[in-house]
Chains A and B, each alone.
Chain A
Amino acid sequence: MTIDPTTFAAIAAMAVATYLTRIAGYWLVRRVSLTGRPAAALEAVPGAVLIALIAPTVLATGPAESGAALVTILIARRGAMLPAVVGGVAAVALFRLMLA
């Protein structure tokens, strides 16, 4: 079992970037208080990033992916993550089989 040097470099880059985001808020709040539009811009980031990640698959790939996304949302409304993920995966496999 080994670690590839490039893989480790990527992991290290991710680790440094992630720690910076974790310490930044702590340092920031000791110096300035974010309010108004800069705060609103930052607050919209997590939802916007997640939407950006899923939009091409959900909206612009095909009916199987769009349908499975709907199934995932309906199950996720009941709360837990794992049943929603299992249901979404099963749905996309089924829809692809039906549409193939």
Chain B
Amino acid sequence: MSDDVRKTARGDSLRAEARADLAAIAPVVISVAAYGLLLGALAAQKGLSPLETFAMSALVFAGSAQFVALDLWSVPAAVWTLGATALVVNLRHVLMGAALAPAMRSWPRGLAPVAVFFMADENWALSLRRAAEGRLGPAFYMAMALALYGTWTASTTLGSILGSGLHDPARWGLDFAFTAVFIVLVMGFWRGPRASLPPWAAAAAAAVVVEATVPGAWYILAGGLAGSLAGALQSRGVVS
């Protein structure tokens, strides 16, 4: 950073930092936009209006949870089931927030509770990398967060407007889009056969059995808990 830049007002230097970082996240923004168009199109097929899709993206702002919610969507909406499912699907945020919290300690008071609202897989990963390199500034975090937030709300709403023309999604295999998205997402959580195979096998077995025997969406919670339990039991062997 040159002396000239250092002399400028604090607001200007924050803006310059934000601008440089926006360039760094351009590839992420493009893939989030594609993902958002897909979600919007699926929301339209489930009967959500563009305004409802916008409201969901703006208030929830969680891709996986929104895909899962639309997969379970019924008319009228099952309020408690959808709320509980969002809680379970987003439990990973607890770990992510815990990892990010130390870097937020030096931020202005009251900013962290706002900042965590925008925490998503993509900006969380980029923020942690930045935190490892040195200081994770609030300008970097918020610039990235707002770029992703704007992209997500705009692309899901646009997808919903464009996607309402699609009828009978199963005919074109579009019902499988949810499964395909989750397959890609879960591959990102693979930590090798020793770490991932036992919890994943437990989750799959529990989900298949419960889905075949219990009506409703309980198979998701059953699989999640079975996998979590397997992960906990397995860690004892690793530690001792």
Contacts and interface: CB of A to CB of B under 8 A. Distances in A.
Contact of A89 (B52, B172, B230): B172
B173 A93 contact: yes
A83 to B, nearest CB: 10
Contacts of B80: 13
Contact of B226 (A37, A39, A48): A48
A10 B232 CA distance: 32
Interface residues of A, number: 75
Given A47-B227, A81-B35, A34 B98 contact: yes
Main secondary structure of the interface of A (DSSP, over half): helix
Contact of B83 (A6, A10, A42, A47): A10
A45 B227 contact: yes
Interface residues on B, range: 35 or more
Contact of B51 (A3, A65, A73): A3
B211 A56 contact: yes
B179 A90 contact: no
Interface in A31-66: 34, 36-60, 65
B49 A1 contact: yes
A52 B173 contact: no
B83 A43 contact: no
Interface of B: 31, 34-35, 38, 48-52, 55-56, 59-62, 64-66, 68-69, 71, 76-80, 82-84, 86-102, 104, 112-113, 116-117, 119, 171-174, 176-177, 179-187, 189-190, 196, 199-200, 202-208, 211-212, 219-236, 238-239
Shortest Cβ-Cβ A-B pairs, 3 listed: A48-B227, A52-B223, A44-B231
